[in-house]
Chains A and B, each alone.
Chain A
Amino acid sequence: MSGLHIQRVRKSFDGQPVLRDVDLAVPSGTIVALLGPSGCGKTTVLRLIAGFDRIDDGEIAIGPGVVAARHLHVPPERRRVGYVPQEGALFPHLTVAGNVGYGLPRRERGGTRVAEVLALAGLDAFGARFPHELSGGQQQRAALARALAPRPTLLLLDEPFNALDLDLRRRLCEEVVGILRREGATAVLVTHDPVEAFAAADLVAVMHDGRIIQIDRPDVVYRQPANATVARLTGQAVVIGGTFQRGQVLTPLGLLTLHPAYARDTGQASVVLRPEQIVAAPADGGTPARVIGHSFRGGYAVLTVTVDGHAIRLRAPAPAAPVPGTDIHLRVDGACVAFPAGE
């Protein structure tokens, strides 16, 4: 059995709890994205796995071996874990090839592994350069190559694309995921960007306030969030009030179908919709609404509409988006998600 197993890990800094009972299992060969807002403890989880900090309680196992427990701390150099930090953190006094070869045993440093990993990272021509002679994207690729070179059992990436501009960030992310797949790596990627998490990972673990509150396939996390917080952290969400009615939910937008897992017989509900679920409908088949605001966003427009006195923000295709003052009709596509109000 390989992979990563984290059980009930706790960590406080100066008496301030940062992680409260974190559980996480990463099967061998999968990529897990750790998604959460800044300050939720994602980076702390990575640092504990790498062994840079000690855990207070719980257990971390990499492959078959326990590396951290209450009175056990295997030092980072004996964990065989690769780490790609936010800023790359390349050794400034070594060339790119020197950086990549750093983690290899002495006899392998002159061998083919360095060239092989450099080629994998698309840095064939840059081995002799120093880190400060590279662009931001190249530095991150070099950091990845350095981490991959000693064939770690587990790779940790701490928001590795954060410092790059959006376009480069998406491209590099795709590229890095390609590299990880080719190497068959087990990896944990920390990010606060849901799009990045969905694109890169087999599993998304949503973290909030020192806990992992849901871990599942990207589409499940997005379509069936465990609670309203997960819904907000994984993308745009429209939250409206309603009442449960025997497996369905009554809202200003009509009687909506629920995912079976969320069905209840009675009670106040807080209904979570994705903006793309609310679409225009013909006059006879939808709920009447009036457009009161219109904000252009490029490919689409964000409309503010009132339905029965409630204001709702939704998306509409840009060229045909109605102007304020127009009366339209709306319906909801697909099953939706609802939680008992006040939860």
Chain B
Amino acid sequence: MRASEAGPAGIHDELFRPRTLSLLLNTLILAISVAAATSVIGTAVAWCIERCDCPGRRVWRVLASLPLAVPAFVASFAWSSIAAVFQSMAGAILILTLSTYPLVYLPVAAALRGMDPGFEDVSRSLGHGPWRTFFSAVLPQALPALGGGALLVLSHMLAEFGALSLLRVQTFTTAIFASYQLRFDNVSAALQASVLLVLCLLAAYAELHLRGDTRFARVGRGSARRITLARLGRATPFVLAGQFVLAVLALGVPFTTLAYWLWAGRSIGRGAAELWPAIEGSLSLSVSGAIVTTVLAVPLVILAARYRGLLANFADRLPYVVHGLPGLIIALALVFISIRYVPLLYQTPVVLIAAYAVLALPLAQTALRASFDLVPVRIEEMSRSLGRNPLQTFLSVTLPNITPGIGAALALLVLELMRELTATLMLAPTGMVTLATEVWSHTNNAEYAAAAPFAALLVAVSVVPVYVFTRRTLAIYDF
């Protein structure tokens, strides 16, 4: 849209500038390395925890999903406060791998747990050793889950902004943000954004396909299965050591650093008065964002769940497409639209809340769909046959039964939106701060002790959505 203003020649020049190529290279190197590293680590951890007689499996299970509670930009704050050496491409790959590997671990673990062990027994009885069995019988079955997780990581990496900006890595997102802030170079931001958009939509498209396949693979739930655990034997200490190191890097470092800076910052005497504006900003923005998103999501969910046809199909798939869009691009589009068509709204919370609504719509749709599916169509039909029209039926039967689900979705959205950084940075009215923007700006200025209390609050708030995500992922891939 905005990019077209540059004219064909301008577009060509801009696209093939060495700078664009180097950004493309950086973005791809980062996204692919992190996706590959998380695939290896996530699968290995999942196998050790779910399929081996590794001691303390319950504890490891919790520890392995906990890194999700630390937003990537908070982890980056922690690492970059230790040494400047982490502010590099290698550092970014390390830190982002550590904070996103649960996105692979969780679906693979669920798939491994739900898998019929019969295939392995057969493979072993046919004379294949344990390694060959893993690669020929186990891994192919876990592949949809692994692929889904890896693509999720990939699209997160394409969209990641906060962590990369704190780690001083130049990718499309940070470049777009920089040219956006300089204002006068908006056209090049738009062009870079279109390249990024293409990458993201490719990832989203691949994920949509994979999910479609996974749905059909869910058969035979609830059948009795007993999984025999592989015996680690002499390898036990090495596996334990590996898991320990991973936990220290992924959890120990951020938490210890956070605790250190909290303690170091206590002398500065930052009290509630300093924290309050950010808490207030976070709460007011995320609560209104959550309400608007839910109101928008309810009709979409009804459409997708109760009706057939083109429109319903569209409503059903919308979340997967939107889900692939980076916050940065959504924010950029909204800035453009508001400046051009409704300048009155620019620099008001309305634009930001609109961005939140787009960003959180997928989450709202999945959360509401789950509770909506618990209301059988049957009882709506009964209501119709007892003389109530569709609207009365919705108000007197459907709504009372999905109210708890709506409440849960709202709470989840509020907590998730509090973690949102990119769109908030770009769209929040001047002077308005949130927990996330405070962490970002203080860390950017190397004021680590000042950033710590905001970061700690964010981590505390994040535990709930992480818990919900964990439960849901284990349920989806539990075929």
Contacts and interface: CB of A to CB of B under 8 A. Distances in A.
B395 to A, nearest CB: 12
A150 B388 CA distance: 12
Nearest to A146: B386
Interface stretch (A16-24, A72-80, A211-219): A72-80
A51 interface: yes
A80 B385 CA distance: 7
Interface in A61-93: 75-83, 85, 87, 89-93
Contacts of B385: 50-52, 76-77, 79, 81-83, 147
A85 B378 contact: yes
Contact of A89 (B382, B387, B396, B401): B382
B400 A150 contact: no
Interface string B385-408: 111110000001100110000000
Interface string B250-291: 000000000000000000000000000000000000000000
B400 A51 contact: no
Given A50-B381, A87-B378, A91-B379, A75 B389 contact: yes
A103 interface: yes
B260 to A, nearest CB: 51
A144 to B, nearest CB: 12
Interface residues of A, number: 24
A75 B387 contact: no
Interface string A260-280: 000000000000000000000
Contacts of A83: 381-382, 385
B378 A77 contact: no
Given A89-B376, A93-B401, A150 B381 contact: no
Contacts of B389: 75, 77
A102 interface: yes
A76 B379 contact: no
Contact of A52 (B376, B384, B386, B396): B384
Contact of B387 (A87, A92, A103): A103
Nearest to A78: B387
Nearest to B403: A93
A82 B387 CA distance: 10
A76 B379 CA distance: 13
Nearest to A80: B387
Contacts of A77: 384-389
A58 B402 CA distance: 38
A103 B397 CA distance: 12
B141 interface: no
Contacts of B397: 91, 93
Nearest to A81: B385
B391 to A, nearest CB: 11
A91 B401 CA distance: 9
A190 to B, nearest CB: 15
Contact of B381 (A52, A87, A90, A92): A52
B404 to A, nearest CB: 10
Top 7 nearest A-B pairs (CB, nearest first) are: A103-B386, A76-B384, A89-B378, A93-B400, A83-B385, A76-B385, A77-B387
25 contacts: A50-B381, A50-B385, A52-B385, A75-B384, A76-B381, A76-B385, A77-B387, A77-B389, A79-B385, A80-B387, A82-B385, A83-B381, A83-B382, A85-B382, A89-B376, A89-B382, A90-B379, A91-B379, A91-B383, A93-B401, A102-B383, A102-B386, A147-B385, A150-B386, A150-B387
Interface of A: 50-52, 75-83, 85, 87, 89-93, 102-103, 146-147, 150
Interface of B: 376, 378-379, 381-389, 396-397, 400-401
